[in-house]
Amino acid sequence: MSSIFFHIRTLIPVMTNTTTIQFNALLLDIEGTITSISFVKDELFPYAFENVGKYLEEHYDKPATQIIIEDLRRLAEQQLETDAAVVKIREPKQECIEDVTKNVRHWIKRDKKLTPMKALQGLIWEEAYQRGYVKGHVYPDVLPILKIIENRKIPIYIYSSGSVHAQKLLFANSVEGDMTKILYGYFDTNIGLKGETSSYTKISEQIGVPEKDILFLTDVEAEAAAASVFQEERDNFDADNIRKAHEKDKVDEKEWTLIYRDVGASRTFYMTAAFLPCFIIGSTIFAIDINTNSPSNRFDFVQKLVTDAEELGTLIVLPSLALTVVIAFLARVQQLRLIRIYQNKKDTESFMAIRSKLLVTQHKALFRRDETTGFYFAEDQTDGARVALHFLFGNIQIGNRKFMIMDDMFKANNYRSYMLNETSVPPRLYE
């Protein structure tokens, strides 16, 4: 799938007769691409945030509202294990409205892309559009360009994290009038998250256009990368690397699917496995030589180190301390990082992790999904502080042990989300 990380006016040169970019279907992001970020951020989101409780009070008994509430109740039960700010949704009406309102407002603040929450936002916005409180914003150059594409018989589709319902409302009530007549279809997170390459494959299958013939426009680089399917991701999980991993770990490929492969952790393991024994042996020789031999009988390198240390005096403490801290940090990271993770094809709740043991050997550890949780550090900390804390204390817990994973090393985000109980829908392991 071709993808462009830019605003829709990128298509002005694309639509000229001399363009080298060819496509048979156009897939568009909304926020920041064909409508301003401020419209969603400063108008739609605040409206939903302020009116969620009021809307639930007025429409609580409607079937559509009840279905969404049940979905939000199940979602809250999954989320509260990893997010202390989420509350369990109680049954009585007033308590239910209070809990749903609290959770939805929390998720809006965190900019969560959660399907049931997006569905509720869609209903709230529908009422706002119907009452004339808001009009869907689109950039002034959007409609003219889309009409050119429509005249060339190229189908136009929308893919946004907002619900399909909310998408249709925006375009049916836009500042340019009803734009739904020129749009062929809509996709939201029910097809998959926008950062997952599998989502774009599914869209390609549903619209019947090969991925290579679809042009995707977005203002988010990560989404453009997912649509393009970066070469390094393909390499990380190509057939040859998968086969080698199974052979190295002696894991049956018919029974287990490789879902996580941290190349950096694997390389670090082999470097540590080679360096640590050498360091220990060298340190041992140094200590024995110092304690048992006179200066004239010591190894040359040992005597040189002793002489340098005597010349430096107390200054030797600083580099020695720094070296000790670095070695301890590297050992801690190596202990925390998981090298590879497999998921059982028959029992999707069962996983196998390949991790470092005693820093110089690898160990298979079986675990269940219900033993696994991810955890997050305070949002007010800097990115550097959070990264440091992850390296020191890990970011997931399996049983009573903490480990560290790199989110972008999973085959796709849905494997990570399922393993960490962020979704109850298992991925397709035979893809």
Q: Are 405 and 336 in contact (CB under 8 A)?
A: no
Neighbouring residues of 15: CB distance < 8 A, sequence distance ≥ 6 = 145, 148, 149
The pLDDT of residue 319 is: 67
Q: 189 in helix, strand or coil?
A: coil
Q: In this structure, is residue 145 part of a structural domain?
A: no
Q: Are 106 and 198 contained in the same domain?
A: no
Q: Are 280 and 332 contained in the same domain?
A: yes
Q: Are 335 and 367 contained in the same domain?
A: yes
Tell me, what CATH number does 158's domain have? 3.40.50.1000
Question: Of 233, 256, 271, which residue is a domain's last?
Answer: 233
Rounded to two decimals, what is the model's pTM?
A: 0.48
Q: Measured between alpha carbons, how far is 87 from 13 in angstroms, rounded to an integer?
A: 50
Q: Are 243 and 258 contained in the same domain?
A: yes
Neighbouring residues of 51: CB distance < 8 A, sequence distance ≥ 6 = 124, 128
List the domain range (segments joined by +) for residue 337.
238-430
Q: Are 288 and 210 contained in the same domain?
A: no
Q: Measured between alpha carbons, how far is 335 from 402 in angstroms, rounded to an integer?
A: 10
Radius of gyration of the chain (CA): 28
Q: Measured between alpha carbons, how far is 2 from 211 in angstroms, rounded to an integer?
A: 8
Q: In this structure, is residue 49 part of a structural domain?
A: yes
Q: In this structure, is residue 173 part of a structural domain?
A: no
Q: Are 302 and 356 contained in the same domain?
A: yes
Q: Are 331 and 226 contained in the same domain?
A: no
The pLDDT of residue 40 is: 83
Q: 318 in helix, strand or coil?
A: helix
From first to last of its 431 residues, the chain has per-residue pLDDT tens of 655 545 555 555 555 444 446 788 999 999 889 998 888 889 999 999 999 999 999 999 999 999 999 999 999 999 888 888 999 999 899 999 999 999 999 999 988 888 899 889 989 999 999 998 999 999 999 999 999 999 999 999 999 988 898 899 999 999 999 999 999 999 998 898 888 888 888 898 899 888 878 888 888 776 766 666 544 455 577 788 899 999 999 999 999 999 999 887 767 766 766 676 777 777 787 677 666 766 666 666 556 666 656 655 554 556 667 777 777 777 777 788 898 999 999 999 999 999 987 766 888 999 999 999 887 554 444 556 666 676 678 889 998 899 988 877 887 767 888 898 877 777 765 44
Q: In this structure, is residue 136 part of a structural domain?
A: no
The pLDDT of residue 366 is: 95
Q: In this structure, is residue 1 part of a structural domain?
A: no
Q: 299 in helix, strand or coil?
A: coil
Q: In this structure, is residue 3 part of a structural domain?
A: no
The pLDDT of residue 386 is: 62
Q: In this structure, is residue 142 part of a structural domain?
A: no
Q: Are 65 and 206 contained in the same domain?
A: no
Closest CA to 355 of 314, 313, 391, 403: 403
**Alpha-carbon dihedral angle through residues 217, 222, 226, 231, given to the nearest 10 degrees:** 120
Q: Measured between alpha carbons, how far is 276 from 68 in angstroms, rounded to an integer?
A: 55
Q: Are 267 and 205 contained in the same domain?
A: no
Look at the chain and report how many structural domains it folds into: 3
Q: Are 84 and 218 contained in the same domain?
A: no
**Kind of pairing, strands 156-159 and 185-187?**
parallel
- Which tokens in the block code for residue 428? 């397709």
Tell me, what CATH number does 57's domain have? 1.10.720.60
The pLDDT of residue 309 is: 63
Q: Measured between alpha carbons, how far is 312 from 319 in angstroms, rounded to an integer?
A: 11
Q: In this structure, is residue 180 part of a structural domain?
A: no
Residue 382 burial (10 A CB sphere; 0-12, 13-18, 19+): exposed
Q: Are 74 and 194 contained in the same domain?
A: no
Q: Are 27 and 49 contained in the same domain?
A: no
The pLDDT of residue 230 is: 40
Q: 291 in helix, strand or coil?
A: helix
Q: In what order do the strands lie in the sheet with 350-357?
A: 256-261, 338-344, 350-357, 361-368
Angle at alpha carbon of residue 45, lines to 39 and 49, rounded to 5°: 150
